[in-house]
Amino acid sequence: MPSLSLHNAVVPVAGLGTRMLPATKSQPKEMLPVGKKPVVQYIVEELERNSFDRVLFITGAGKTAIENHFDHDPNLIRLLREGGKEELLAELEFERSGAQFFYTRQKTQAGLGDAILHAEDFAGREAFAVALGDSILGRHAQSQTLSRMRDAFLDSNCAAIVAFERVPANETHQYGIAFPDGDVVPGETFQLRDVIEKPARGEAPSDLAIAARYIFSPLIFEALHETKPGKGGEIQLTDAIRLLIKGGERVLGMELPPGETRYDIGNFCSYYEAFIEFALTDPELGSRMRDFARKFLESD
């Protein structure tokens, strides 16, 4: 039975991030800034906002900057305090977050499914959320989707709930795509008949792409152990979800509620879009940035 509290979350951050080279040559893509904060800080803020306060990062070689970012830094705090820089001290409030952080390493980048297998001991017999380390949910991470997914998970006897977003029909071959059973209403759950990783062009069963958030019962680990390496020799999480469905388990989907967007920091096009949107809506600098953008576009 899943835990009634359901407050464990797993954040895989071990990927190589090759699509973001050269930015990711010597720093994790999950540490790239979007506006003022690195991507992982938004993810932790989203998890805390949705009451997931035990967070396991699946890290890898070259990812120590992530651990350092969430560590308490007494020297920096002392320097800022002595310099009277109280407003900058406020920017480090996140260091005092109530969340507990855990770290484990994926030694070879054998895919997202393999990364999640590293959470088996951490999760034990409890259900848990997965939040991909390169995707922000909701503008400035204001998403409530994980809370809705948790409520739905605890109300239904299902093995997994997967978040989805609509994507243009000509891009479905880049994503894990849902085969929904019946109508899909944003923010509500729907039954999944199947889920297909990167379907061939023209063969996608819908335009609903996996949107970087999941809730799993521990059954996912059995499915992952049975999953054979797929495209690129990697163990695909989508293939394990598929095994759950084929094994007769109930797996649900949830399209992001109206007004919520997933910001994918895994490729430069959507990274630029996210950065521009967050800068234009920055509470302090947004209006200056919008003036700048207007003038720039008029003069271009």
In the complex, which residues of this chain contact ligand UTP (CB under 6 A)?
12-20, 30, 58, 106, 109-112, 114-115, 132-134, 266
Give the nearest distance from C-beta 195 to ligand UTP in angstroms.
15
SS3 199: coil
Residue with the shortest CB distance to ligand UTP: 15
Q: Which residue's CB is nearer to ligand UTP, number 134 or number 260?
A: 134
Cβ nearer to ligand UTP, comparing 57 with 190: 57
Terminal-to-terminal C-alpha distance of the chain: 59
Amino acid at 118: H
CA distance 245 to 54: 28
In terms of Cα–Cα distance, which of 97, 118, 92, 96 is closest to 11? Answer: 118
**Closer by beta carbon to ligand UTP, 9 or else 80:** 9
- Minimum distance between the CB of residue 58 and ligand UTP, rounded to whole angstroms? 5
Q: Which is nearer to ligand UTP, 18 or 156 (CB)?
A: 18
Q: Among residues 2 and 28, whose Cβ is nearest to ligand UTP? A: 28
Separation of alpha carbons 122 and 129, rounded Å: 12
Q: What is the DSSP letter of 296?
A: H
Query: At closest approach, how far in Å is the CB of 225 from ligand UTP?
Result: 16
Structure tokens at 197: 């990783």
Q: What is the CA radius of gyration of the chain?
A: 20
Question: Which residue, 24 or 189, has its beta carbon nearer to ligand UTP?
Answer: 24
For the beta carbon of residue 175, count every other beta carbon within 10 angstroms: 22
- CA dist list (Å): 152 to 140, 241, 291: 24, 18, 43
Residue whose CB is less far from ligand UTP, 10 or 223: 10
Supply the minimum distance, in Å, between the C-beta of residue 210 and ligand UTP. 10
Q: What is the dihedral of CA 39, 45, 49, 55, to 10 degrees?
A: 90
In the complex, the smallest distance separating the C-beta of residue 72 from ligand UTP, rounded to whole angstroms, is 24
Minimum distance from residue 234 beta carbon to ligand UTP (Å): 6
CB of 28 to ligand UTP, least distance (A): 8
Angle, vertex CA 189, rays to CA 187 and CA 193, nearest 5: 135
What's the closest the beta carbon of residue 280 comes to ligand UTP, in angstroms?
25
In the chain, which ranges are continuous DSSP H helix? 39-49, 64-70, 74-82, 86-90, 112-117, 120-123, 145-155, 219-226, 237-246, 268-280, 286-299
Q: Nearer to ligand UTP by C-beta: 132 or 204?
A: 132
